[in-house]
């Protein structure tokens, strides 16, 4: 089909442009921080474009109308991602945003990190693994765990960029948890947009002060609230995961594919 060839060509062209940006290292600004953000943003946009073509080619249906019960998954996840912003430290003045002129650019970069990574891991990898492990409760759990593990482990590449072992291992751990949370939100909502927004907000809230600010933000109350919230939401997400059955995920099948009962997925 012509559409398949267009998708293949588009994905290859976007991937080539992605590589070219990193090899050419174009200069967008003499400001080092602005330069870094612009380069990151452009690369994420091109990476997202790759997976737009891949998703169209694979025909996975991950943009469904929000399903009943969506808010039961989205609201607890939203609490987790918003809590990633050190609100107490900002309110007390122990931390501050110093480069307010770059907040808009940082926000765009965080958003497209969400677009790129969610389309890759929840939009493409998750349905591929689900087909591999089968549409059973066990298959759903295995897919959720494995796709989240891959998402977490991919962050080991930060070691090659000079990141410390301890912070990288910590990032792998919480990336696994965030990946699992987003996978469950996709299962319960049927719409990848929720995962993208949650991921973007999480990266914005967590990276705002380290990237554009300074000060101290990991105080005892913040740590306590973060741990309690993480434990509570993890327990709730596991309940939602184990309640998800085969009949609730047929919407994800590629358009035109037959379900187990012989009916078209349309």
Q: pLDDT tens digits, residue range 113-163?
A: 999 999 999 999 999 999 999 889 999 999 999 999 999 999 888 888 777
Ordered by start, the domain boundaries in the chain are: 1-58, 63-252
Two tokens, residue 148: 């989240």
CA–CA distance, 28 with 102 (Å, rounded to integer): 14
Question: Under a CB-based contact definition with an 8 Å cutoff, are residues 29 and 38 in contact?
Answer: yes
**Residue 264's pLDDT band (boundaries 50, 70, 90)?**
very low
Residues 6+ apart with CB under 8 A from 185: 73, 74, 77, 194, 195, 198
Residue 258: its pLDDT value, please?
52
Q: What average pLDDT does the structure give for the chain?
A: 91
106-122 core/surface letters (b: 16 or more CB in 10 A; e: else): bebbbbbbbbbbbbbbb
In the Cβ-directed half-sphere of 19, how many Cα atoms lie within 13 Å?
Answer: 5
What confidence tier does 167 reach under pLDDT thresholds 50, 70, 90? confident
Question: For residue 259, is pLDDT > 70?
Answer: no
Q: What pLDDT is stored for residue 55 in this prediction? A: 94
How many other C-beta atoms lie within 10 A of the C-beta of residue 60?
21
Mean pLDDT of 4-8: 93
Give the pLDDT band (50/70/90) at residue 110: very high
Question: How far is it, in rounded angstroms, from Cα 104 to Cα 123?
Answer: 26
Tokens of residue 165, six digits? 């072992």
Indicate whether this model's pTM tops 0.95.
no
Residue 266 has pLDDT above 60, yes or no: no
CA distance 83 to 65: 27
* Whether the predicted pLDDT of 261 surpasses 60: no
* pLDDT reported for residue 147: 96
The rounded percent of the chain whose pLDDT value lies above 90 is 77
Long-range CB contact pairs, 38-41, < 8 A, 24+:
38/105, 40/109, 40/113, 41/105, 41/108, 41/109, 41/112
The tens digit of pLDDT for each residue in 193-223 reads: 999 999 999 999 999 999 999 999 888 999 9
Q: Is the dihedral of CA 50, 54, 60, 64 positive or negative?
A: positive
Q: What is the pLDDT of residue 255?
A: 64
List 258's β-bridge partners, or say none.
264
Residue 219 CB contacts under 8 Å (≥ 6 apart), including other chains? 88, 89, 94
């Amino acid at each position: 089909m012509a559409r398949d060839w267009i998708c293949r060509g588009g994905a290859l062209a976007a991937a080539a442009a992605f590589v070219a940006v990193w090899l050419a290292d174009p200069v967008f600004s003499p400001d080092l921080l602005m330069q870094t953000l612009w380069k990151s943003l452009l690369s994420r946009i091109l990476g997202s474009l790759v997976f737009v073509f891949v998703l169209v080619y694979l025909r996975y249906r991950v943009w469904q109308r929000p399903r009943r019960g969506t808010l039961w998954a989205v609201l607890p996840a939203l609490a987790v991602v918003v809590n990633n912003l050190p609100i107490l430290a900002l309110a007390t003045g122990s931390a501050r945003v110093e480069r307010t002129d770059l907040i808009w650019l940082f926000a765009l970069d965080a958003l497209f990190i969400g677009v790129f990574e969610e389309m890759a891991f929840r939009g493409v990898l998750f349905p591929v693994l689900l087909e591999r492990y089968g549409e059973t409760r066990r298959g759903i759990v295995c897919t959720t765990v494995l796709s989240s593990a891959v998402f977490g482990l991919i962050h080991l590449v930060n070691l090659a960029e000079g990141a410390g072992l301890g912070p990288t291992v910590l990032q792998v751990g919480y990336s696994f948890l965030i990946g699992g949370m987003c996978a469950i939100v996709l299962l319960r909502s049927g719409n990848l947009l929720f995962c993208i927004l949650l991921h973007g907000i999480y990266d914005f809230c967590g990276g705002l002060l380290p990237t554009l600010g300074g000060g101290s933000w990991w105080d005892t109350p913040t740590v306590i609230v973060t741990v309690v919230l993480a434990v509570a939401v993890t327990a709730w997400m596991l309940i939602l995961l184990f309640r998800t059955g085969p009949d609730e995920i047929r919407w994800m099948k590629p358009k035109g594919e037959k379900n187990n009962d012989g009916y078209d997925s349309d």
